Structure 1
Amino acid sequence: MLIGAVADDFTGATDLATGFRRRGLETVVVVTPSAVDPATYAGVDAVVVALKTRTAPVDEAVERSIAALAWLVDAGADRFALKYCSTFDSTDEGNIGPVLDAFRDRLGTDRAVVVPAFPANGRTVREGRLYVGDELLEESSMRHHPLTPMTRSRLRDLLAPQTPTPVTEVPLADVHAGVGALRAALDTAPAGYLVVDAVDDDDLVTIGRASAHHRLVSGGAGLALGVGTDDAPPPALPAEFSHVTGRRLVVCGSASAATRGQIAHAAATHPTRKVDLTAATADPAAEAAALADWVRGLDADSVPVVYSVGEPSDVVTAAPASTSAAAPPAASVVESVLSALVHDLVADGTVGSVVVAGGETSGAVVTALGTAALVVGPALGPGVCWTAATTSGGRPVALVLKSGNFGAVDLFSTAWEALS
């Protein structure tokens, strides 16, 4: 195994895995390590363990991450990556710093690069500061994130409150000096975490090669650019996809602008239906059943799109006022409904391939399906790919698990072409 990685959410895991596969590596995403014998994937080039720890309590995030790391060690990995979001989603308490500290202690390594940059999706680091497009992180929409509001842009200032480990900045000039010069700069820098500037893909390749002898690296999906070879042939469609049958479906739990644009684009040619939040809050199972009946009643060749947010005014941060004070938050209601919908339609053989938009929704869907691992298939764009899985009931299914912010505007219409 060339590398074993731990990702702090499901879409981040497939994001990184997409990059590994583009580099010619046979790649698997493991969702439930406890259900998989580590020896099963000992010969695979890259394995990514997908967790749901980004906003979990610190102790829980560290415990689950260390368990995933131990599983990768048992599977034969000797080099490791911690994958987090390219916008460094975290708070002053963690979870990036505490998990990195735990990994350093477990692996006995004295340093690790910190490289969230992902230029293909507009994330760059200059003078130690993280940019989203042309905006500093603190001036982007991430400033108002409900769980991890990012009010600073300098990565050292973001990471330092989370860890007692020193944080050093490595400037772009060292990166542009080439692999040898950057390797020397990394190895002579103070032990700890090394925040490295990167503004394009060539920079990420240089960083990957300069840190190839480090046992631990950390960052966004751009880390994959430094692993594997430049001239690897496009991997063939894995055999697992040949078993997938059934109709197509799109479910969207994300409220991001990119996903809303994809929904609007699809609405011109695809049947669409919005989750009835009031009905869902009152009886999630009944709303999921109603949506399933709607899908079953459509033409078998159609690609129905079920979504929760079509425009900003649809965003609800709490349960509707008409429900009881004990009602669950709107986001968890939507996750429950959409995951139940996918589970039921896959379980009875109606649907065989699903595009899921939204990190939390993706996690809920995979959990509902009881999938233990995902074989990575064709890439659909930066950070977006098809995966093949088997449910706990033995049904093969093809899944796209995408971050709400990722994918072309026509993704819901064109994604299926890669499977033909």
Structure 2
Amino acid sequence: MSDKLLIGCVADDFTGASDAASFLAKSGMRTMLFNGVPKTEQSYEMDAAVIALKTRTEETGKAVEDSLEAVKWFQKQDACHIYSKYCSTFDSTPDGNIGPILDAILDECKEKSSIICPALPVNGRTVSQGKLYVNGVPLDESPMKNHPLTPMWESDLGKLMEPQSKYPCIKVTEEIMKGSKEEIEQYIAKESQGKEKFYLIPDYVKDEDAAKIAEVFGDMKVLSGGSGILTELGKKYCGKAEGAAMPSSATEGRGIVLAGSCSQATLEQIRVFQEAGHYSCKIDPVKLLDGTDTPERIWPCVLEESQGKEILIYSSDTPEQVKKMQDIGKEKVANAIEKAISDLAVLAEKDGFRRIIVAGGETSGAVTKKMGYDAYLIGESIAPGVPVMIPAENPQIRLVLKSGNFGQPDFFLRALKMTAKEK
């Protein structure tokens, strides 16, 4: 293990940060996750640090400013490498934030190039001929094209970056990636002639491709992408095999699932949870907005009706119902749901719940902010990219925060079981 901070990762939302942290921990790195840029001078024993921001949907100028603040914190820790982590479905529109953030990081670090590598094959995200696919379907033809916050109408990563970035992209296709490192470098040198700065888009179709990408591009100061290559980068940087000791995933106390995501995966996970006979309660955004329902009114009823069972509270709904809700006001509805779910998480913790599972990126960010924990140890994963997290300030708590699209159909059941200490 090194005494230096080997990699500093800045993530665009909290579930993206926990996703990245889980893949770094899998490589054997001592990994810490921070909710925002640390404000204290406390030191931690860590090889990798991940800072969770909210830049995925933030106003672009603020997103760039926040990202640079995180990068400068990493620079103070003498980080060897900077990694900009974004969604594995790229999550972008022509005026999206990924390009401006990457441009600013390249300029701050005085680097000429970086890679764009959003693929995560284990979760069905692949890049072929520079195009991003979701479960074999081009991004712009997948269900993600109708994402309520960041609709995805293009699958060519170069074309996605062109309207956003000051710098051009160079595709490094599967055929080129089959060459030696020297041959790939020669190709890049030829293609980048006359370019002030540029981005490289390597094809990444199979899990095994990560090792080659880490070998060829891992020495770069600035890298970017999803979580797919982070385990191989971690191995390259610290030379430690998988299977390093991790903190225990289990703790005492009841468990609760809080779901704000409306993804198809989360809707299926809710169905499986309910069919297993567990207690669930759906909250109505309209009643939250008009004050008919409040967390303080909902929670006592949930406690009484659940009769000691594991609990699911959700606002998730079908795309048709979501569209109806958005007619009221997308921001108003989202804010009401996030506030209610985060308030319910705090009420649950006060009543002895120690295992808290949250579905949805924005929802997870709201919950962690409300609970007030700023630093987390990273434990084992429930599913690829979804680790158990232990607040450094309260090691009795187990948090599991998943992006809406992640996890198996029985994910909620698995998470509750893995975090429960056997009696």
Give the TM-score normalised by the residue count of structure 1: 0.91
How do 1:5-404 and structure 2 match up within 5 A?
5-37=9-41, 40-41=43-44, 43-186=45-188, 189-190=191-192, 191-229=197-235, 232-238=241-247, 244-268=251-275, 269-283=277-291, 286-297=293-304, 302-316=309-323, 318=325, 329-346=332-349, 348-389=350-391, 396-404=396-404
Matched pairs, number: 408
Task: Describe the superposition over 1:78-119 as per-residue Cα deviations: whole angstroms up to 9, x where unpaired.
Answer: 211001111111222231111111101111110001111111
The residue matched to 1:201 in structure 2 has which SS? coil
Give the deviation of 1:35 after TM superposition: 2.8
Partners in 2 of 1:400 and 1:316 — Cα distance? 28
Partners in 2 of 1:356 and 1:223 — Cα distance? 25
Give the deviation of 1:306 after TM superposition: 0.6
Give the deviation of 1:313 after TM superposition: 4.2
Q: What root-mean-square deviation, in Å, do the aligned CA atoms of Structure 1 and Structure 2 show?
A: 2.3
Write the letter of the residue equivalent to 1:272: S
Give the deviation of 1:375 after TM superposition: 1.3
Q: Per the alignment, do residues 92 and 412 of structure 1 end up closer, same or farther by CA in structure 2, a change over 3 Å counting?
A: same
Q: Per the alignment, do residues 180 and 386 of structure 1 end up closer, same or farther by CA in structure 2, a change over 3 Å counting?
A: farther
Give the deviation of 1:55 after TM superposition: 1.4
Partners in 1 of 2:370 and 2:66 — Cα distance? 19
2:7 aligns with 3
Give the TM-score normalised by the residue count of structure 2: 0.90
Give the deviation of 1:279 after TM superposition: 2.0
Give the deviation of 1:146 after TM superposition: 2.5
C-alpha contact (below 8 Å) 2:377/2:392 kept by paired residues: no
Question: After alignment, is 152-161 or 252-261 more displaced?
Answer: 152-161
C-alpha contact (below 8 Å) 2:281/2:302 kept by paired residues: no
C-alpha contact (below 8 Å) 1:10/1:363 kept by paired residues: yes
Give the deviation of 1:186 after TM superposition: 4.4
Task: Describe the superposition over 1:23-77 as per-residue Cα deviations: whole angstroms up to 9, x where unpaired.
Answer: 111111111324332x523x41111100001111111000000001111111231
Unaligned runs of 5+ in 1: none
Unaligned runs of 5+ in 2: none
Task: Describe the superposition over 1:354-373 as per-residue Cα deviations: whole angstroms up to 9, x where unpaired.
Answer: 11000000000011011111
Give the deviation of 1:417 after TM superposition: 3.4
C-alpha contact (below 8 Å) 1:36/1:372 kept by paired residues: no
